[in-house]
Structure 1
Amino acid sequence: MLQLTELGARLKEARLSKGYSLDDLQEITKIQKRYLSAIEEGNYSIMPGTFYVRAFIKQYAEAVDLSADELLETYKSEVPANKTVESTTTATIQQPQSRRSLSKIPSKGFMDLMPKLVVALFIIIAIVVIWVLFQNKADNSTPDIKNEAPITVDTKTPTTNNKNKDNEVAGSKDQDKNDEKTTKKEEEKQKLSKGTLVNDNETTNYTLTGTEEYKIRVEVTGDTWVGVQDENRTEISDRADVYHANDVVEVDAKGKQSVRIRLGAAANANVFVNDEKLKLAASPSERSTQNIVINFSEKE
């Protein structure tokens, strides 16, 4: 059996002082029991990825009323480094090199095209000259129509059928009704406020108004933890767990006062509220783990 690390021992001591079993903590944090046990034992090799280690430790610490930032700083030598930042830096360094390589493309190809461009220009000029000559010939062959009988145009105003008038009036009314419906729909368009960061720097509050719908969708682009809870911290998604690329988490939260979306790797997920993409107030590159709280109000 693995020896408890100092970090794991402190977390376990806090859990026991709260009177929580691992099953209780699993229910509170929605983190699988085997991951919680691995954190206490310092067995991070069974985690789904190194960037989940810090996220799970933070949730564990919050559940037992410990300061997550203080723990991670104190025992940073025990926690694996997050590789997300390294990959981002590498991509940033490589990008300018590819742009510089594009600027070195030789201009010899343009010189090779010059003869072809000259030939194409001569062909276009020849086509224009032939078209002008053809037009002049057509104008000269037009017969003289001065002696032909003039065309008589009837200027009498036709009698309007009353039935057609009624149809036009009815059509106008229907158009007005459609315009009113369109205007009403535009007035009922939802409004999603800008995110406001809370003191813990991991939670962002939003307010949704102007709609009766309250549908949440999380589109996953890479490995990330996703959990969706209501105002009572009750899980309302199918499961709170690690999701992978192309997974979609959908929740109909109608009737709820608010929802709390927990993202383990915010850069690997896009959040939509009634098909409107939510803009994160905190950059995922600076803050990987994020809590997104959306408060719902039908009235503006």
Structure 2
Amino acid sequence: MSELGQLLKKARLEQGITLEQLQETTKIRKRYLEAIEEGDYKSLPGNFYVRAFIKSYAEAVGLDPSEVLSMYRNVFPDPNVGTVTESLSPKRTITKRSDKWSRFATGVMLASFFLLIVGLIYYFAYRNHDGVNQSVNGGSSAPLTDKVATQNPNGSPAGGTLEAKTVATPSPTPVQPELKLVKSEGNMDYYQLTNAATLSVEMTLTGTDCWFQIDKLTPNGNSFDHDMIEQGNLAKLGSPRKWESDQPVFMNIGLPKAIELKVNGVVLPLGEISNPKRLQIQAAGL
């Protein structure tokens, strides 16, 4: 057992916290917690996640995470220093391509809207012009008088029928989903999705590898039971991963700045955060 593992385990036992309770608090699997205490870092997903797990462990047992991470760095220096510059170039390329397509799509939408307006104006002008011609060609040549036309008991003019004309109306614009931050507690952010009954989560890697975990939440009294959907690493650049859920979801993202996250097509901004981020998302209709 390493000196760092002994320190963490001692703090946990002094707090009277079991590994199962610590797993529920940090959302880190029990076997990873045991590996940290034993100093078996090779059993963990990678050096970045070792630091993230140690930080979460230290916070949960009341230790200063900065001092604990300093002890870890003295034994295992960070091998990823100097790789940030290499990961920025693909991100800039993707951003430039996205801007180009965004401008093209905007131009197409504006042109389509203009053609739609012109078409509607022409349609209504043609109908009005055709109606005037029918009235002139089919009208009587008798002089105008001040007499009122005789009506039938049902209210319609004698000797004729009323013809109803239908006017085409534009279809209503579909209501788009909206994602709102409801509150933040500790390192957990709570979001609510309106105008949607189910959740569609899409995650795309834009930088270096990113560890993630996504759970389906089932209501249990005043809390939720976690049912893991998937846990692993995003390692293929630009290839989106998608999940559908009819229940609220919990997400634990190891490197938020390395991914783009969308919920029902709405981008959820994660910022340039290097520390793990935890999210809970719920649709308004759920």
TM-score normalised by the chain length of structure 2: 0.57
Residue 12 to residue 250, structure 1, CA distance change in 2 (3 Å): same
Partner SS state of residue 48, structure 1: coil
Structure 1 equivalent of residue 121 of structure 2: none
Q: Distance in 2 between matches of 1:9 and 1:164?
A: 93
1:3-60 superposed Cα distances (whole Å, 9 cap, x missing partner): x222211211123334444455445544333322221122223322211111121232
Q: 1:266 aligns with which of 256, 261, 264?
A: 256
Partner SS state of residue 243, structure 2: strand
| Paired residues for 1:277-288 under 5 Å | 277-280=267-270, 282-284=271-273, 287-288=274-275
1:100-156 superposed Cα distances (whole Å, 9 cap, x missing partner): xxxxxxxxxxxxxxxxxxxxxxxxxxxxxxxxxxxxxxxxxxxxxxxxxxxxxxx98
Identity percentage over the alignment?
29
Structure 2 equivalent of residue 87 of structure 1: 83
Structure 2 equivalent of residue 137 of structure 1: none
Structure 2 equivalent of residue 226 of structure 1: 212
Does the 8 Å CA contact 2:197/2:284 hold for their aligned counterparts?
A: no
Partner SS state of residue 76, structure 1: helix
Q: 2:31 aligns with which of 26, 34, 52?
A: 34
Structure 2 equivalent of residue 193 of structure 1: 180
Partner SS state of residue 278, structure 2: strand
| Paired residues for 1:1-300 under 5 Å | 4-81=1-78, 83=80, 86-90=82-86, 157-159=136-138, 166=164, 168-169=165-166, 172=167, 175-176=168-169, 179=171, 182-183=172-173, 185-186=174-175, 189-193=176-180, 203-208=188-193, 210-221=194-205, 223-228=209-214, 230=217, 232=223, 234-245=225-236, 246=239, 248=241, 250-252=243-245, 254=247, 256=248, 259-280=249-270, 282-284=271-273, 287-294=274-281, 297=284
Partner SS state of residue 239, structure 1: strand
Residue 92 to residue 10, structure 1, CA distance change in 2 (3 Å): same
Deviation at 1:217, TM superposition (A): 1.1
Q: Which has the larger radius of gyration?
A: 1
RMSD: 4.1
Partner SS state of residue 31, structure 1: coil
Structure 2 equivalent of residue 136 of structure 1: none
Does the 8 Å CA contact 2:197/2:283 hold for their aligned counterparts?
A: no
Deviation at 1:271, TM superposition (A): 1.8
More helix by share: 1
More strand by share: 2
Structure 1 equivalent of residue 126 of structure 2: none
1:148-172 superposed Cα distances (whole Å, 9 cap, x missing partner): xxxxxxx985559x99954x42xx2
Q: Distance in 1 between matches of 2:83 and 2:192?
A: 34
Partner SS state of residue 86, structure 1: coil
Does the 8 Å CA contact 1:216/1:271 hold for their aligned counterparts?
A: no
TM-score normalised by the chain length of structure 1: 0.55
- How many residues end up aligned between the 2 structures? 215
Gaps of 5+ in 2: 92-132, 140-159
